[in-house]
Structure 1
Amino acid sequence: MSLVNTKQMLQDAKKNKYAVGAFNIHNLETLKAVVKTAAEMESPLILQTTPGTIKHAGEDYIAAMAEVASEKYDIPIALHLDHGNSFDLVVKCIRAGYTSVMIDGSMLPYEENVELTKKVVEVAHAAGVTVEAELGNIVGVEDDMYVKEDKSAFTDPKMAVDFVEKTGVDSLAIAIGTAHGMYKGEVKLDFERLKEIASLVDIPLVLHGASGVPDELVKKAIALGICKLNIATELKIPFTNAIKEVFKNNPDESDPRKFLAPGEKAIEEVVKEKIKLFGCGGRA
């Protein structure tokens, strides 16, 4: 099976009240761990990379690895640009073989966000690529993007309707109280806002900053309309900790296979739990 875009998988998730896991990968090991686990659990899968990961690894290398994975396993896999920060980067990713892109104009004035998103939708749809956009600001750190708490802004439901109508975007990331990175205090999500947006907007809704959100809140968010959940930090930490443990026990280890394999295994365990939580197992 070749890489697919996210349209069918997210529409099915919306219809059947589950969410597809979108896992941020950085290299071969993280990609392999995520895909292997999703295949074992017969789950649709979104692999995603930020601009920082693309700068580090190269969009062509990433797309080639994802394509190999899609041919190896019989599950729908989409390759998604997470938090795309420019039109040029979107075009580069589409040319490399990405099947889904996010253009994040949430930090721009509203009309500029609309125009940028609309421009991306036009070029992406011409190539059969789906588009995610963001409305509202999510606090925390994602790559080089940092949003302070006093700069956060929850998504306005009526503005969401206008945005979707004007841009033709396929899915919408909304701000209801999640944060990029791990939480320092109690997680409080505005479920009434989510419920209102879901009742007004007829496209799949996305929740960024899902790492560290308690399971019961995740389940409620899915029940109220979230169809895609992004997981990044909760993969990076166990991956890194597993590698640290190898060097703690053997400071002179020099074989990358010996210290990367435990990291890969640690990610598999997290992905397995997230797929169970999201309800996407057996939906491939």
Structure 2
Amino acid sequence: MPLAHTGELMRDAVGSGVGLAAFNVISLEHGEAIIEAAEQTQLPAVLQISENCIKFHHGRLKPLVSGLAALAESSHACVSLHLDHIEDERILREAAGTAITSVMFDGSRLGFQDNVAATRDAARWAHLRGWHVEAELGEIGGKNGAHAPGVRTDPVEAARFAADTGVDSLAVAVGSSHAMTAQTARLDHDLIARIRAVVGVPLVLHGSSGVPDDEVVLAVASGMVKINLGTILNVAFTGAVRSALAAPDIVDPRAYLAPARMETAAVACRLLQVVATRPVAAP
């Protein structure tokens, strides 16, 4: 199936009142697992390539994008390709003309005004190429240890930031934290609703791996649209590798990558269904 556009997937999710699951990819095995899950559930997904992932692949963006695009196009899955947490504008330039249709430009290390200026410039550049642009006001808890998980986004600042930058979606801090390996986070659903009421673009929840399933469903009901997931897939992948390598005679990487891919697909299937759950109205 031809690749989808992230902006269209976001609009469809908003129109249907459900969330859109976005999964971080590290290797082609991750991509295969996520695409398989999207096929099995018949639900859309976003494949996210972070700046850290690009660094892991020795700075080579295009081979990874090309590989993921080929995997998606040879499947029946409805998926798009997205750049995540991009701070280096050179990566944006390199991605021009590829299958990428969206970017999360990350100026959150900057002060408010500098973040606005940098994000606005990146958004203008990306919009000329038809991309959907996501940004972040201040760092989400846990990212590079810069903030404690208790950090929260101010609704008034969020509304101002979205209006001044012209972005299409906004990641906000409401209680989740990056790189959590257990689903123990509790979200501020009242804050999500208050931000949603004043921000004119869809909201994005980063650090969703540490959020329990029922909290994710409530977050979507409160106003979140795009739900970013990464660490939870890595926990599944690495756990399966560890189990497989318990057999001392294994030397063929396929013997541990295959179960890792299978377990990652199973977790992605469950998460796709959770994110797409329509909240039941209270009696």
Equivalent in the alignment of 1:218: 216
**SS of structure 1 residue aligned to 2:136:** strand
Q: Tell me how far apart the structure 1 counterparts of residues 4 and 277 of structure 2 sit (CA, whole Å).
A: 17
Note the C-alpha offset of 1:95.
4.3
CA deviation digits over 1:200-232, x for unaligned, max 9?
122111000000211121111000111111111
Moved more, 157-166 or 229-238: 157-166
**SS of structure 1 residue aligned to 2:133:** strand
Q: How many residues align?
A: 276
Note the C-alpha offset of 1:185.
9.1
CA deviation digits over 1:213-257, x for unaligned, max 9?
1112111100011111111110001101111111112x2312111
Q: Tell me how far apart the structure 2 counterparts of residues 102 and 94 of structure 1 sit (CA, whole Å).
A: 15
Q: 1:56 to 1:95 in 2, by over 3 A?
A: farther
Q: Is the 8 A contact 2:181 2:235 kept in 1?
A: no
- 1:265 matched to 2:267? The reply is no
Map 1:235-274 to 2 at 5 A. Answer: 235-249=233-247, 251-274=248-271
Give me the CA root mean square deviation.
1.9
**SS of structure 1 residue aligned to 2:125:** helix
CA deviation digits over 1:23-63, x for unaligned, max 9?
11111111001001101211111000211211223211111
Q: Is the 8 A contact 1:13 1:19 kept in 2?
A: yes
Map 1:62-73 to 2 at 5 A. Answer: 62-73=64-75
Moved more, 90-99 or 15-24: 90-99
Map 1:135-174 to 2 at 5 A. Answer: 135-141=137-143, 145-149=144-148, 153-174=151-172
Q: Which runs of 5+ in 1 are unaligned?
A: none
Note the C-alpha offset of 1:5.
2.5
**SS of structure 1 residue aligned to 2:95:** helix
Q: 1:184 to 1:233 in 2, by over 3 A?
A: closer
Correspondent of 1:61 among 63, 83, 90: 63
Map 1:170-249 to 2 at 5 A. Answer: 170-182=168-180, 186-249=184-247
**SS of structure 2 residue aligned to 1:265:** helix
Q: Higher relative CO (CA 8 A, sep ≥ 6), structure 1 or 2?
A: 1
TM-score, L = length of structure 2: 0.91
CA deviation digits over 1:77-116, x for unaligned, max 9?
2111111112222222334432111111112100111111
CA deviation digits over 1:60-82, x for unaligned, max 9?
11111122123212343211111
Q: Is the 8 A contact 1:182 1:233 kept in 2?
A: yes
Q: Tell me how far apart the structure 2 counterparts of residues 108 and 172 of structure 1 sit (CA, whole Å).
A: 16
**SS of structure 2 residue aligned to 1:121:** helix
Note the C-alpha offset of 1:183.
5.9
